[in-house]
Structure 1
Amino acid sequence: MPMVTVSISPLQAAGIRAAVDTGTYASSSEVVREALRMWDAARRRSDVCDVPQAANDETLKGSRCVADMFADYEAEQHSHN
């Protein structure tokens, strides 16, 4: 599998560690792969926008950005606990 290096915030890193520590995911790689699958599925449904393009494109008004999608997902996860 190809490897990619990315930079994330300390808060994001803590969230990934917590997901692994609680047993929700087996590894940090699994967390990131799931996030990318969600992002890709949302893009295919046109649920997420390309932020720079959306700022200038009225047709994308109301489209959701990746941060919105993840916030919804986190809220849903917390509501089940």
Structure 2
Amino acid sequence: MPMVTVSISPLQAADIRQAVDDGSYASSSEVVREALRLWDTARKMGAPIEGCDGAVANGRCVADMFADHEAERRSA
């Protein structure tokens, strides 16, 4: 699998570590892969990538989609 190096904020790194530590994900790579899948889905749907401030396509943005996804994961 190709490797890519990216920079993330300390808060993002802590959130990823927390998701792995609490058992939500098996590894940090799994967290990032899922985030990229959600981003790709949002991009293909035309949802704004930057967030939910201002008007958004179909009333949805990436943050909304991610919140829905996380709620579904927690209820399963």
After TM superposition, the score normalised by the length of structure 2 is 0.70
Q: 1:15 to 1:38 in 2, by over 3 A?
A: same
Q: Using the TM superposition, give the Cα deviation of residue 48 of structure 1 relative to its aligned residue in structure 2, in angstroms.
A: 2.2
Runs of 5+ unmatched residues, structure 2: none
After TM superposition, the score normalised by the length of structure 1 is 0.66
Larger radius of gyration: 1
Q: Using the TM superposition, give the Cα deviation of residue 75 of structure 1 relative to its aligned residue in structure 2, in angstroms.
A: 7.9
Aligned residues: 66
Q: 1:13 to 1:75 in 2, by over 3 A?
A: farther
Determine helix, strand or coil for the equivalent of 1:38.
helix
Runs of 5+ unmatched residues, structure 1: 52-60
Structure 1 runs (4+) deviating above 6 angstroms are none
Q: Using the TM superposition, give the Cα deviation of residue 74 of structure 1 relative to its aligned residue in structure 2, in angstroms.
A: 4.5
CA distance in 1, matches of 2:70, 2:31: 14
CA distance in 2, matches of 1:33, 1:76: 14
Contact 1:17 1:28 in 2 (8 A): yes
Q: How does 1:35-54 map to 2 (within 5 A)?
A: 35-49=35-49
